[in-house]
Chains A and B, each alone.
Chain A
Amino acid sequence: MSKTAEFEPKIATFLCTWCSYAAADLAGSSRIQYPPNIRVMRVPCTGRMDPFLIIKAFNEGADGILVSGCHPGDCHYLDGNLYARRRFVMLNELMQYAGVEEERLNFTWCSASEGKRFAQVVEKAVNRVKKVGPWQGFDGQGFAREEGELVSEQL
Protein backbone atom coordinates (compact mmCIF):
# COMPACT_ATOMS: atom_id res chain seq x y z
CA MET A 1 0.00 0.00 0.00
CA SER A 2 1.79 3.08 -1.20
CA LYS A 3 0.82 6.38 0.26
CA THR A 4 1.22 9.41 -2.01
CA ALA A 5 -0.27 12.59 -0.70
CA GLU A 6 -1.72 14.61 -3.53
CA PHE A 7 -2.19 18.31 -3.15
CA GLU A 8 -5.85 19.25 -2.93
CA PRO A 9 -6.23 22.99 -3.35
CA LYS A 10 -8.74 25.07 -1.49
CA ILE A 11 -10.41 27.49 -3.87
CA ALA A 12 -12.35 30.45 -2.54
CA THR A 13 -15.31 30.63 -4.88
CA PHE A 14 -17.61 33.61 -5.23
CA LEU A 15 -20.84 32.89 -7.08
CA CYS A 16 -23.56 35.35 -7.90
CA THR A 17 -26.85 34.20 -6.45
CA TRP A 18 -28.87 34.61 -9.67
CA CYS A 19 -26.82 32.70 -12.23
CA SER A 20 -23.74 30.85 -11.09
CA TYR A 21 -25.08 29.77 -7.71
CA ALA A 22 -28.13 28.41 -9.54
CA ALA A 23 -25.77 26.72 -11.99
CA ALA A 24 -24.00 25.03 -9.08
CA ASP A 25 -27.41 24.00 -7.81
CA LEU A 26 -28.35 22.57 -11.18
CA ALA A 27 -25.06 20.70 -11.39
CA GLY A 28 -25.93 19.19 -8.03
CA SER A 29 -29.50 18.24 -8.79
CA SER A 30 -28.43 16.84 -12.17
CA ARG A 31 -25.86 14.73 -10.32
CA ILE A 32 -22.96 16.06 -12.35
CA GLN A 33 -19.72 15.33 -10.55
CA TYR A 34 -17.14 18.02 -9.95
CA PRO A 35 -14.14 18.28 -7.62
CA PRO A 36 -14.99 19.18 -4.02
CA ASN A 37 -12.16 21.73 -3.72
CA ILE A 38 -14.30 24.83 -3.98
CA ARG A 39 -15.61 26.73 -0.96
CA VAL A 40 -18.62 28.61 -2.18
CA MET A 41 -19.50 32.09 -1.00
CA ARG A 42 -22.76 33.40 -2.32
CA VAL A 43 -22.83 37.06 -3.30
CA PRO A 44 -25.87 39.03 -4.51
CA CYS A 45 -24.07 40.03 -7.69
CA THR A 46 -20.49 40.05 -8.93
CA GLY A 47 -20.88 43.84 -8.90
CA ARG A 48 -20.98 43.57 -5.12
CA MET A 49 -17.55 41.95 -5.12
CA ASP A 50 -15.03 44.23 -3.55
CA PRO A 51 -11.64 43.31 -5.05
CA PHE A 52 -10.43 43.35 -1.44
CA LEU A 53 -12.38 40.14 -0.82
CA ILE A 54 -10.13 38.39 -3.29
CA ILE A 55 -6.91 39.89 -1.92
CA LYS A 56 -8.05 38.93 1.58
CA ALA A 57 -8.76 35.37 0.48
CA PHE A 58 -5.08 35.08 -0.51
CA ASN A 59 -4.02 36.80 2.69
CA GLU A 60 -5.84 34.13 4.66
CA GLY A 61 -4.53 31.17 2.71
CA ALA A 62 -6.79 30.29 -0.21
CA ASP A 63 -4.79 28.48 -2.90
CA GLY A 64 -6.80 30.12 -5.63
CA ILE A 65 -10.00 31.96 -6.31
CA LEU A 66 -12.86 31.42 -8.69
CA VAL A 67 -15.38 34.14 -9.42
CA SER A 68 -18.39 33.48 -11.57
CA GLY A 69 -21.40 35.62 -12.36
CA CYS A 70 -24.07 36.05 -14.99
CA HIS A 71 -22.95 36.43 -18.58
CA PRO A 72 -22.46 40.08 -19.58
CA GLY A 73 -25.84 41.46 -20.58
CA ASP A 74 -27.74 38.94 -18.44
CA CYS A 75 -27.13 40.55 -15.06
CA HIS A 76 -30.12 40.48 -12.72
CA TYR A 77 -29.24 44.07 -11.83
CA LEU A 78 -28.72 44.98 -15.51
CA ASP A 79 -25.10 46.09 -15.38
CA GLY A 80 -23.53 44.88 -12.12
CA ASN A 81 -21.29 42.36 -13.84
CA LEU A 82 -20.14 44.93 -16.39
CA TYR A 83 -18.72 47.10 -13.60
CA ALA A 84 -17.27 43.97 -12.02
CA ARG A 85 -15.60 42.95 -15.26
CA ARG A 86 -13.37 46.04 -15.34
CA ARG A 87 -12.51 45.60 -11.70
CA PHE A 88 -11.50 41.98 -12.21
CA VAL A 89 -9.37 42.80 -15.25
CA MET A 90 -7.48 45.44 -13.24
CA LEU A 91 -7.19 43.20 -10.18
CA ASN A 92 -5.89 40.37 -12.34
CA GLU A 93 -3.20 42.66 -13.80
CA LEU A 94 -2.22 43.81 -10.32
CA MET A 95 -2.04 40.37 -8.74
CA GLN A 96 -0.05 38.90 -11.61
CA TYR A 97 2.34 41.83 -11.53
CA ALA A 98 2.86 41.30 -7.82
CA GLY A 99 3.83 37.70 -8.55
CA VAL A 100 0.64 35.70 -8.00
CA GLU A 101 0.47 33.04 -10.74
CA GLU A 102 -2.30 33.60 -13.26
CA GLU A 103 -3.50 30.03 -12.66
CA ARG A 104 -4.70 31.02 -9.19
CA LEU A 105 -6.99 33.72 -10.55
CA ASN A 106 -10.06 32.33 -12.26
CA PHE A 107 -12.79 34.59 -13.57
CA THR A 108 -15.64 33.35 -15.70
CA TRP A 109 -19.38 33.57 -16.37
CA CYS A 110 -21.97 30.79 -15.91
CA SER A 111 -25.68 31.11 -16.48
CA ALA A 112 -28.32 29.32 -14.39
CA SER A 113 -28.87 26.69 -17.08
CA GLU A 114 -25.21 25.85 -17.47
CA GLY A 115 -24.90 23.18 -14.78
CA LYS A 116 -22.63 21.11 -16.97
CA ARG A 117 -20.47 24.08 -17.85
CA PHE A 118 -20.19 24.94 -14.16
CA ALA A 119 -18.79 21.49 -13.44
CA GLN A 120 -16.30 21.91 -16.29
CA VAL A 121 -15.29 25.35 -15.01
CA VAL A 122 -14.63 24.00 -11.53
CA GLU A 123 -12.63 21.12 -12.93
CA LYS A 124 -10.57 23.47 -15.06
CA ALA A 125 -9.96 25.85 -12.18
CA VAL A 126 -8.90 23.04 -9.85
CA ASN A 127 -6.50 21.66 -12.45
CA ARG A 128 -5.03 25.09 -13.03
CA VAL A 129 -4.42 25.64 -9.32
CA LYS A 130 -3.05 22.11 -8.88
CA LYS A 131 -0.52 22.86 -11.59
CA VAL A 132 1.07 25.68 -9.60
CA GLY A 133 0.93 23.93 -6.24
CA PRO A 134 0.11 25.14 -2.74
CA TRP A 135 -0.08 28.88 -2.12
CA GLN A 136 2.76 29.95 0.14
CA GLY A 137 1.24 33.25 1.21
CA PHE A 138 2.51 36.73 0.42
CA ASP A 139 5.28 36.15 2.95
CA GLY A 140 6.30 32.75 1.55
CA GLN A 141 5.78 31.08 4.93
CA GLY A 142 2.98 28.80 3.81
CA PHE A 143 -0.15 27.99 5.76
CA ALA A 144 -0.90 25.29 8.26
CA ARG A 145 -3.03 22.71 6.55
CA GLU A 146 -5.47 20.59 8.41
CA GLU A 147 -4.78 16.93 7.96
CA GLY A 148 -7.17 15.12 5.70
CA GLU A 149 -9.01 18.24 4.68
CA LEU A 150 -6.59 19.65 2.20
CA VAL A 151 -4.26 16.82 1.36
CA SER A 152 -6.06 13.67 0.33
CA GLU A 153 -4.26 10.41 0.65
CA GLN A 154 -4.37 8.19 -2.37
CA LEU A 155 -3.99 4.63 -1.35
Chain B
Amino acid sequence: MSSYEKVTDEIRSIAEKLLKEEEVEKIIGFGKGLFSDEVTPIFVSRLKDVDRLIFSPQASMSLAKYLLNYKEQKVAIVAKPCDSRAIASYLSEDMIKRENVKIIGINGCPGIEDNSACQECDIRNPVIADYTVGEEMSEEEIQAEIEDFEDEIEKMSPAERMEYFRKEFERCTRCYACREACYVCYCEQCFTESNQPDWVGESVKLNDNFTYHLMRSMHMAGRCVNCGACEMACPEGIDVRALAAKMVRAADEIFDYKAGLDPEQKTLLSEYDVNDREKGFMDE
Protein backbone atom coordinates (compact mmCIF):
# COMPACT_ATOMS: atom_id res chain seq x y z
CA MET B 1 0.00 0.00 0.00
CA SER B 2 1.48 3.33 -1.02
CA SER B 3 1.86 6.08 1.51
CA TYR B 4 -0.91 8.05 -0.22
CA GLU B 5 -3.43 5.25 0.34
CA LYS B 6 -2.30 4.77 3.90
CA VAL B 7 -2.76 8.49 4.56
CA THR B 8 -6.19 8.37 2.91
CA ASP B 9 -7.32 5.55 5.21
CA GLU B 10 -6.08 7.33 8.29
CA ILE B 11 -7.72 10.60 7.29
CA ARG B 12 -11.04 8.80 6.83
CA SER B 13 -10.90 7.12 10.23
CA ILE B 14 -10.08 10.39 12.00
CA ALA B 15 -12.78 12.22 10.04
CA GLU B 16 -15.33 9.56 10.99
CA LYS B 17 -14.40 9.84 14.65
CA LEU B 18 -14.61 13.66 14.60
CA LEU B 19 -18.03 13.66 12.96
CA LYS B 20 -19.41 10.87 15.18
CA GLU B 21 -18.38 12.64 18.35
CA GLU B 22 -19.72 15.90 16.90
CA GLU B 23 -16.48 17.67 17.58
CA VAL B 24 -16.69 19.48 14.26
CA GLU B 25 -19.43 20.47 11.84
CA LYS B 26 -17.40 20.14 8.69
CA ILE B 27 -14.27 18.55 7.41
CA ILE B 28 -12.31 20.36 4.73
CA GLY B 29 -10.31 17.90 2.69
CA PHE B 30 -9.35 16.63 -0.73
CA GLY B 31 -11.80 14.64 -2.83
CA LYS B 32 -11.92 13.07 -6.24
CA GLY B 33 -12.68 15.51 -9.04
CA LEU B 34 -14.72 15.08 -12.20
CA PHE B 35 -11.87 13.85 -14.37
CA SER B 36 -9.55 10.87 -13.96
CA ASP B 37 -6.84 12.13 -11.63
CA GLU B 38 -8.28 15.48 -10.74
CA VAL B 39 -8.49 16.42 -7.09
CA THR B 40 -10.86 19.03 -5.76
CA PRO B 41 -11.51 20.48 -2.31
CA ILE B 42 -14.53 18.88 -0.63
CA PHE B 43 -16.47 19.78 2.47
CA VAL B 44 -17.77 16.78 4.38
CA SER B 45 -20.47 17.21 6.97
CA ARG B 46 -22.31 13.84 6.79
CA LEU B 47 -20.90 10.56 8.02
CA LYS B 48 -21.79 8.75 4.80
CA ASP B 49 -19.59 11.12 2.80
CA VAL B 50 -16.45 10.39 4.77
CA ASP B 51 -15.28 7.86 2.19
CA ARG B 52 -15.04 10.61 -0.40
CA LEU B 53 -11.98 12.03 1.38
CA ILE B 54 -8.72 11.14 -0.35
CA PHE B 55 -5.10 12.13 -0.49
CA SER B 56 -3.19 11.74 -3.73
CA PRO B 57 -0.15 13.15 -5.59
CA GLN B 58 -2.53 15.61 -7.27
CA ALA B 59 -3.72 17.22 -4.03
CA SER B 60 -1.91 20.44 -4.87
CA MET B 61 -4.20 23.17 -3.57
CA SER B 62 -3.70 24.85 -0.25
CA LEU B 63 -6.89 24.24 1.74
CA ALA B 64 -5.94 26.65 4.52
CA LYS B 65 -7.61 29.55 2.77
CA TYR B 66 -11.05 27.93 3.18
CA LEU B 67 -10.71 28.31 6.94
CA LEU B 68 -11.36 32.03 6.47
CA ASN B 69 -14.87 31.17 5.23
CA TYR B 70 -15.67 29.23 8.40
CA LYS B 71 -14.25 31.47 11.08
CA GLU B 72 -17.15 30.99 13.48
CA GLN B 73 -17.78 27.29 12.83
CA LYS B 74 -15.98 24.34 14.25
CA VAL B 75 -14.21 22.68 11.36
CA ALA B 76 -11.48 20.14 10.78
CA ILE B 77 -8.99 20.51 7.98
CA VAL B 78 -6.63 18.16 6.20
CA ALA B 79 -3.28 19.90 6.11
CA LYS B 80 -0.10 19.12 4.27
CA PRO B 81 2.98 20.47 6.11
CA CYS B 82 2.96 23.62 3.99
CA ASP B 83 -0.75 24.13 4.75
CA SER B 84 -0.02 23.70 8.45
CA ARG B 85 2.48 26.54 8.15
CA ALA B 86 -0.20 28.62 6.45
CA ILE B 87 -2.57 27.84 9.35
CA ALA B 88 0.14 28.81 11.86
CA SER B 89 0.51 32.11 10.01
CA TYR B 90 -3.24 32.70 10.13
CA LEU B 91 -3.16 32.08 13.87
CA SER B 92 -0.25 34.49 14.29
CA GLU B 93 -2.14 37.09 12.26
CA ASP B 94 -5.31 36.53 14.35
CA MET B 95 -7.32 35.51 11.30
CA ILE B 96 -8.80 32.33 12.81
CA LYS B 97 -9.49 31.02 16.28
CA ARG B 98 -7.46 28.05 17.43
CA GLU B 99 -10.36 26.49 19.35
CA ASN B 100 -12.52 26.44 16.21
CA VAL B 101 -10.19 24.41 14.06
CA LYS B 102 -8.99 20.83 14.33
CA ILE B 103 -5.95 20.15 12.18
CA ILE B 104 -5.37 16.74 10.65
CA GLY B 105 -1.70 17.05 9.73
CA ILE B 106 0.03 14.84 7.19
CA ASN B 107 3.33 13.62 8.59
CA GLY B 108 6.20 12.95 6.20
CA CYS B 109 4.40 14.52 3.26
CA PRO B 110 5.30 12.49 0.16
CA GLY B 111 5.01 15.54 -2.07
CA ILE B 112 2.80 16.70 -4.90
CA GLU B 113 3.23 15.74 -8.51
CA ASP B 114 4.72 18.44 -10.77
CA ASN B 115 5.09 20.87 -7.91
CA SER B 116 8.65 22.20 -8.13
CA ALA B 117 8.38 23.62 -4.60
CA CYS B 118 8.27 20.11 -3.13
CA GLN B 119 11.83 19.44 -4.27
CA GLU B 120 13.09 22.34 -2.16
CA CYS B 121 10.83 21.57 0.80
CA ASP B 122 12.63 21.09 4.10
CA ILE B 123 9.60 21.00 6.39
CA ARG B 124 7.94 17.67 5.76
CA ASN B 125 6.07 17.32 9.07
CA PRO B 126 3.24 19.63 10.13
CA VAL B 127 4.31 22.44 12.46
CA ILE B 128 0.95 22.43 14.20
CA ALA B 129 -1.62 19.61 14.35
CA ASP B 130 -4.26 18.04 16.58
CA TYR B 131 -4.18 14.69 14.82
CA THR B 132 -1.47 13.35 12.60
CA VAL B 133 -1.54 10.76 9.87
CA GLY B 134 1.36 9.05 8.10
CA GLU B 135 4.79 8.54 9.53
CA GLU B 136 6.92 11.33 10.87
CA MET B 137 10.12 11.98 8.94
CA SER B 138 13.39 12.51 10.77
CA GLU B 139 15.68 15.41 9.97
CA GLU B 140 18.19 13.08 8.27
CA GLU B 141 15.54 11.57 6.02
CA ILE B 142 14.37 15.04 5.00
CA GLN B 143 17.89 16.27 4.28
CA ALA B 144 18.60 13.16 2.22
CA GLU B 145 15.60 13.83 -0.01
CA ILE B 146 16.18 17.52 -0.73
CA GLU B 147 17.58 17.92 -4.18
CA ASP B 148 20.49 20.30 -4.42
CA PHE B 149 18.77 23.46 -5.42
CA GLU B 150 20.63 25.67 -7.81
CA ASP B 151 19.04 28.92 -8.74
CA GLU B 152 19.61 29.33 -12.46
CA ILE B 153 18.06 32.78 -12.48
CA GLU B 154 20.47 34.08 -9.83
CA LYS B 155 23.41 33.23 -12.07
CA MET B 156 22.18 35.40 -14.93
CA SER B 157 23.11 39.05 -15.44
CA PRO B 158 20.47 41.67 -14.54
CA ALA B 159 19.59 42.15 -18.22
CA GLU B 160 19.14 38.40 -18.74
CA ARG B 161 16.99 38.13 -15.64
CA MET B 162 14.82 41.00 -16.82
CA GLU B 163 14.48 39.29 -20.20
CA TYR B 164 13.57 35.99 -18.52
CA PHE B 165 10.80 37.56 -16.47
CA ARG B 166 9.55 39.59 -19.41
CA LYS B 167 9.10 36.35 -21.36
CA GLU B 168 7.24 34.84 -18.43
CA PHE B 169 4.96 37.74 -17.54
CA GLU B 170 4.20 38.48 -21.16
CA ARG B 171 1.93 35.43 -21.09
CA CYS B 172 0.08 36.56 -17.97
CA THR B 173 -3.62 37.16 -18.64
CA ARG B 174 -4.17 38.64 -15.19
CA CYS B 175 -6.73 35.98 -14.31
CA TYR B 176 -5.49 36.21 -10.72
CA ALA B 177 -5.55 32.43 -10.27
CA CYS B 178 -2.23 32.76 -8.42
CA ARG B 179 -3.81 35.24 -6.06
CA GLU B 180 -6.87 33.10 -5.44
CA ALA B 181 -4.74 30.01 -4.79
CA CYS B 182 -2.39 31.78 -2.41
CA TYR B 183 -3.03 31.62 1.30
CA VAL B 184 -1.32 34.99 1.85
CA CYS B 185 -3.72 36.81 -0.48
CA TYR B 186 -6.73 37.24 1.73
CA CYS B 187 -7.04 41.06 1.68
CA GLU B 188 -10.64 42.16 1.36
CA GLN B 189 -9.58 44.67 -1.21
CA CYS B 190 -6.58 43.71 -3.28
CA PHE B 191 -4.19 46.44 -4.42
CA THR B 192 -5.03 45.48 -8.00
CA GLU B 193 -8.61 46.63 -7.49
CA SER B 194 -7.72 49.75 -5.57
CA ASN B 195 -8.20 52.95 -7.55
CA GLN B 196 -7.22 55.34 -4.83
CA PRO B 197 -4.27 55.04 -5.08
CA ASP B 198 -4.29 53.43 -8.49
CA TRP B 199 -1.33 51.13 -7.90
CA VAL B 200 -1.33 49.18 -11.13
CA GLY B 201 -3.23 49.19 -14.42
CA GLU B 202 -5.75 46.38 -14.92
CA SER B 203 -4.98 45.68 -18.56
CA VAL B 204 -2.56 43.01 -19.78
CA LYS B 205 0.27 45.33 -20.77
CA LEU B 206 3.66 43.85 -19.99
CA ASN B 207 4.64 46.87 -17.91
CA ASP B 208 1.59 46.41 -15.67
CA ASN B 209 1.86 42.61 -15.57
CA PHE B 210 5.44 42.90 -14.40
CA THR B 211 4.45 45.51 -11.82
CA TYR B 212 1.58 43.33 -10.56
CA HIS B 213 3.87 40.35 -9.99
CA LEU B 214 6.50 42.50 -8.29
CA MET B 215 3.92 44.05 -5.99
CA ARG B 216 2.35 40.72 -5.14
CA SER B 217 5.77 39.26 -4.38
CA MET B 218 6.48 42.19 -2.10
CA HIS B 219 3.33 41.29 -0.15
CA MET B 220 4.69 37.72 0.06
CA ALA B 221 7.94 38.86 1.68
CA GLY B 222 8.31 37.07 5.00
CA ARG B 223 4.88 35.43 4.68
CA CYS B 224 5.17 33.05 1.74
CA VAL B 225 5.67 29.45 2.87
CA ASN B 226 6.83 28.35 -0.59
CA CYS B 227 3.97 25.88 -1.08
CA GLY B 228 3.88 26.28 -4.85
CA ALA B 229 0.09 26.63 -5.03
CA CYS B 230 0.43 29.76 -7.21
CA GLU B 231 2.52 27.96 -9.77
CA MET B 232 0.18 24.95 -9.81
CA ALA B 233 -2.81 27.24 -10.31
CA CYS B 234 -1.37 29.25 -13.21
CA PRO B 235 -3.14 28.27 -16.46
CA GLU B 236 -0.33 29.76 -18.53
CA GLY B 237 2.43 27.85 -16.78
CA ILE B 238 4.25 31.01 -15.75
CA ASP B 239 7.08 30.71 -13.26
CA VAL B 240 5.00 32.67 -10.74
CA ARG B 241 6.79 31.24 -7.75
CA ALA B 242 10.27 32.46 -8.75
CA LEU B 243 9.96 35.93 -7.21
CA ALA B 244 8.18 34.78 -4.06
CA ALA B 245 10.68 31.95 -3.60
CA LYS B 246 13.47 34.50 -3.85
CA MET B 247 11.80 36.40 -1.00
CA VAL B 248 11.73 33.18 1.05
CA ARG B 249 15.43 32.58 0.47
CA ALA B 250 16.35 36.23 1.12
CA ALA B 251 14.41 36.25 4.42
CA ASP B 252 16.24 33.12 5.46
CA GLU B 253 19.69 34.33 4.42
CA ILE B 254 19.53 37.92 5.61
CA PHE B 255 17.23 37.75 8.63
CA ASP B 256 17.35 34.03 9.44
CA TYR B 257 13.57 34.03 9.22
CA LYS B 258 11.17 31.33 8.09
CA ALA B 259 7.46 32.05 7.83
CA GLY B 260 4.76 30.04 9.58
CA LEU B 261 6.79 27.92 11.97
CA ASP B 262 5.03 29.01 15.12
CA PRO B 263 1.60 30.57 15.82
CA GLU B 264 3.31 33.01 18.21
CA GLN B 265 5.74 34.21 15.55
CA LYS B 266 5.45 37.73 14.15
CA THR B 267 5.78 38.28 10.41
CA LEU B 268 9.15 39.40 9.14
CA LEU B 269 8.15 42.95 8.28
CA SER B 270 6.08 43.61 11.40
CA GLU B 271 9.07 43.57 13.69
CA TYR B 272 12.68 44.74 13.56
CA ASP B 273 16.03 44.29 15.17
CA VAL B 274 18.18 47.33 15.93
CA ASN B 275 21.16 45.48 14.49
CA ASP B 276 19.49 44.45 11.24
CA ARG B 277 21.79 44.21 8.27
CA GLU B 278 21.54 46.99 5.72
CA LYS B 279 22.23 44.80 2.74
CA GLY B 280 22.19 46.71 -0.52
CA PHE B 281 22.21 50.18 1.09
CA MET B 282 24.45 52.81 -0.44
CA ASP B 283 27.04 52.79 2.32
CA GLU B 284 27.25 49.09 3.05
CB of B210 within 8 A of CB of A86, answer: no
A 78-89 binary contact with B (CB < 8 Å = 1; else 0)? 010011011111
Within 8 A of B (CB), among A64-110: 72-73, 79, 82-83, 85-102, 105-108
Give the interface segment out of A5-13, A21-29, A51-59.
Answer: A51-59
Minimum C-beta distance from B206 to chain A (A):
4
- Closest chain B residue to A73 by CB distance? B274
Knowing A138-B206, A138-B207 touch, does A94 contact B217 (C-beta < 8 A)? yes
Minimum C-beta distance from A93 to chain B (A):
4
Minimum C-beta distance from A125 to chain B (A):
7
Q: Per a CB cutoff under 8 Å, which of A51, A56, A59, A96 touches B280?
A: A96
CB of B281 within 8 A of CB of A108, answer: yes
Query: How far does the alpha carbon of A138 sit from the alpha carbon of B163 in the complex, in Å?
Result: 9
Minimum C-beta distance from A98 to chain B (A):
6
CB of B200 within 8 A of CB of A59, answer: yes
Query: How far does the alpha carbon of A83 sit from the alpha carbon of B255 in the complex, in Å?
Result: 13
CB of B247 closer than 8 Å to a CB of A: yes
Q: Count the A-B residue pairs with Cβ separation under 8 angstroms: how many?
A: 128
Minimum C-beta distance from B187 to chain A (A):
13
Within 8 A of A (CB), among B261-284: 268-270, 272, 274, 276-283
CB of B161 within 8 A of CB of A97, answer: yes
> What does DSSP make chain B's interface, helix, strand, loop or mixed?
helix
Residues of chain B within 8 A (CB-CB) of A73 are: 274
CB of A83 within 8 A of CB of B246, answer: no
A interface residues, how many (CB within 8 angstroms): 41
Knowing A56-B199, A89-B277, A105-B280 touch, does A99 contact B163 (C-beta < 8 A)? yes
Residues of chain A within 8 A (CB-CB) of B218 are: 51-52, 55, 90-91, 94
> What does DSSP make chain A's interface, helix, strand, loop or mixed?
helix
- Closest chain A residue to B282 by CB distance? A108
CB of B274 within 8 A of CB of A72, answer: yes
Knowing A82-B276, A94-B246, A97-B246 touch, does A59 contact B282 (C-beta < 8 A)? no
Within 8 A of B (CB), among A105-155: 105-108, 121, 124-125, 137-141
Minimum C-beta distance from A32 to chain B (A):
18
CB of B221 closer than 8 Å to a CB of A: yes
Minimum C-beta distance from B63 to chain A (A):
28
- Closest chain A residue to B253 by CB distance? A93
CB of A52 within 8 A of CB of B276, answer: no
Query: 8 pairs across A/B with beta carbons < 8 Å?
Result: A56-B211, A59-B200, A89-B278, A89-B279, A94-B246, A97-B153, A124-B282, A140-B206
Closest 5 CB pairs of A and B: A99-B162, A138-B210, A99-B161, A139-B206, A92-B280
Give 18 new A-B contacts, CB below 8 A, not counting A83-B272, A89-B281. A55-B218, A56-B200, A58-B211, A87-B221, A88-B280, A89-B279, A90-B250, A91-B218, A93-B246, A93-B247, A94-B214, A94-B247, A97-B154, A98-B214, A99-B158, A105-B280, A138-B214, A140-B162
